[in-house]
A and B are shown apart, each in its own frame.
Chain A
């Protein structure tokens, strides 16, 4: 395996060693890599295959699926990737962070912090408590708007237009609050090596505004919980706990799995077991997101009122003097960067990334074949929070 740093089937292959990345910090281990066998697709009478994508209004980002159906029923779905491969090339630290933010723009904070944790831990930089605090507030704001957006997409797929527009209104308000606080609606440029953008709003004014939005969110949720239509439409895409063993984030928590990287350092405020909900359906993944939005707001309040210690506690596994694996809980789950640096040039020499989407796509594929028809595709897909930009990044981050 020589000099490579690559991620393959959820293993990091680096300098002749292999590390199983798991779906959270708990399941990381130094384990021998085993090759996966190619999937066999049955070709018999009655099975029809069609290509869905790469350009279609139903999918936000360009990608495609080979969908195998028998009558109305979906038998198998195979992702076709490679469409969004960009020329991603890391270099000096500042530029690399900017690129990481733009791998998946709506997860900009998570990608930037994960990469920064890696760089800072190799360089033995310990950011101040204030820097950590601002990063944590921003990553919770990122979680709130992404969860809201996925709920919007679920309502859209289910033609629940009134609820959809109510959530969209809130989503826009949250983006504007991001802009007022940090100068960018999607929080680009928030942070760099040992540095953050100075907030442009007084934190207590920000908190008041957030409280008002959360109160509004609470009322909308109360009405939505009474909606039989929502309950019926989203009862699809079941994923049992066993099937979800390699899934991460809200998708795993919606299938009773107690995984959340944040619990390793702020257990009191991230009650992972409190999220575990319902029956592993698309509905339960939506419920998890609803609860997490409220918990993120509480977490932000606790951070601003200094109830949480912001001592540096990054989740890294050291590989060598110049290389680490770093992980963070992105809105869709465990996000992993492996980085080797050139100390003298202050540059990234090698990098690999395993997104949460790379794990959740497997969960989606398992759940969509359970008595699902094509109209269930979107409810199900959106409920996993799969993002194609990070899944299909290409360049330095191309997975083999």
Chain B
């Protein structure tokens, strides 16, 4: 059995990709659009506010791709010092559609291989350095998220993943009162963008 896996592995070769060589997925289909057609009013003067864009596709059928959105993620404050130990992530779903959760989970995919950077997930916020929040933050989950945040040791950082957790996207967003250190736009953001944001937040790139 294990021989078969080994042979298959040798035949397939290394599947892990260099992060620099993977283009962020959603960059390629943001295009010029008529502002009034955008369901979340995120276009003004030909500029797309990535904190709101739900990637609905309405403006992407145009051939006139004019926008180069550098703003796929934004760091508000990095860790003071470069972290030398392994980094642990605790993920909370604050009322998501699950696509953001699946893209976060996908970072362990051998294609992205989160562990090569010394980063892994933890099931316990008491061990976590980073809190990743997805979803609109429902009233029922807000207290649980606060407890998770408060039980994390210092220094700790908060990353909002996806437009739901940043602006609510197409839904109404709840308020959790936790200030974020990094936001990753997209609906959902792809694993490479999330990974690059985390590496940048931790001073690893």
Q: Give Cα distance in the complex from A171 to B90, angstroms.
A: 23
The answer to whether the Cβ of B117 comes within 8 Å of any Cβ in the partner chain is no
Q: Contact partner of A55 among B111, B148, B170, B188, CB < 8 A?
A: B148
The verdict on B99 contacting chain A, using a C-beta distance below 8 Å, is yes
- Asked if B54 CB lies within 8 Å of chain A CBs, one says yes
- Complex interface residues of chain A between 145 and 170 (CB less than 8 A to chain B): 149, 162-163, 165-166, 168-169
User: Do the beta carbons of A223 and B171 come within 8 Å of each other?
Assistant: no
Within 8 A of A (CB), among B83-127: 90-103, 105-106, 108-111, 121-124
B172 within 8 A of A: yes
Q: Are B172 and A87 in contact (CB under 8 A)?
A: yes
Of A57-65, A131-139, A290-298, A367-375, the segment with at least 4 beta carbons within 8 Å of chain B is A57-65
Bound-state CA distance A91–B186 (Å) is: 23
| B25 CB–A CB distance under 8 Å | yes
Which of A162, A171, A183 meets B29, CB within 8 Å? A183
Q: Compute how far the CA of A86 lies from the CA of B57 in the bound complex, rounded to whole angstroms.
A: 23
Residue among A102, A149, A197, A220 making CB contact with B57, cutoff 8 Å: A197
Is residue B140 within 8 Å, beta carbon to beta carbon, of the partner chain? yes
Q: Which of A223, A227, A389 contacts B97 (CB 8 A)?
A: A389
Q: Interface digits, B6-19 against A, CB 8 Å rule (1 contact, 0 not)?
A: 00110010010000
Asked if residues A226 and B1 are in contact (CB atoms below 8 Å), the reply is yes
Contact of A85 with B169 in the complex, beta carbons under 8 Å: no
Residue A103, interface by CB 8 Å:
yes
Q: State which of B61, B100, B111 has its C-beta within 8 Å of the C-beta of A198.
A: B61
CA distance A185 to B56 in the complex (A): 12
In the complex the two chains form, what is the Cα distance from A240 to B154 in whole Å?
51
Is the Cβ of A54 less than 8 Å from the Cβ of B138?
Answer: no
**Residue contact A188 to B140, C-beta cutoff 8 Å:** no
Chain A 108-125, CB-CB to B under 8 Å as 1, else 0, gives: 100000000000000000
Whether A179 sits at the interface, judged by CB under 8 Å, is yes
State in angstroms the CA–CA spacing of A388 and B97 once bound together: 9
Which interface residue of B9, B102, B103, B110 has the most chain A CB atoms within 10 A?
A: B102
Partner of B171, one of A102, A163, A186, A387: A102
The answer to whether B25 and A106 touch across the interface, beta carbons within 8 angstroms, is no
* A219 interfacial contact with B, CB 8 Å: yes
- In residues 28-51 of chain B, which contact A (Cβ within 8 Å)? 29, 39
Q: Can you list, as one digit per residue, whether each of A361-400 has a CB less than 8 Å from chain B (1) or not (0)? A: 0000000000000000000000000011100001000000
Q: B58 at the A/B interface (Cβ < 8 Å)?
A: yes
Q: Which chain B residues lie closer than 8 Å to A169 at the CB level?
A: 12, 15, 109-111
Given contacts A169-B15, A223-B5, contact A86 B171 (CB under 8 A): yes
Sort chain A's interface into a size bin.
35 or more
Given contacts A84-B138, A169-B110, A188-B187, contact A197 B61 (CB under 8 A): yes
> Is the Cβ of B121 less than 8 Å from the Cβ of A57?
yes
CB distance from A4 to the nearest CB of B (A): 23
Give the contacts of A316-348 with B (CB-CB under 8 A): none
Closest A residue by C-beta to B145: A55
Contacts of A127 in B (CB 8 A): none
7 A–B pairs (Cβ distance < 8 Å), ordered by A: A57-B122, A57-B123, A86-B172, A169-B111, A171-B109, A172-B111, A184-B57
Other than A82-B140, A95-B39, give 20 A-B pairs with Cβ distance below 8 A.
A54-B140, A55-B92, A55-B145, A57-B90, A57-B122, A61-B96, A62-B92, A86-B95, A94-B39, A102-B97, A102-B169, A105-B99, A162-B9, A163-B5, A168-B108, A169-B109, A186-B99, A186-B188, A189-B55, A189-B58
Residue ranges of B at the interface with A (Cβ–Cβ < 8 Å): 1, 4-5, 8-9, 12, 15, 25, 29, 39, 54-58, 60-61, 90-103, 105-106, 108-111, 121-124, 135-136, 138, 140-141, 144-145, 148, 169-172, 187-188, 190
| Smallest CB-CB A-B distances: 10 pairs | A189-B57, A105-B99, A57-B123, A105-B97, A62-B93, A87-B172, A168-B109, A102-B97, A223-B4, A83-B140
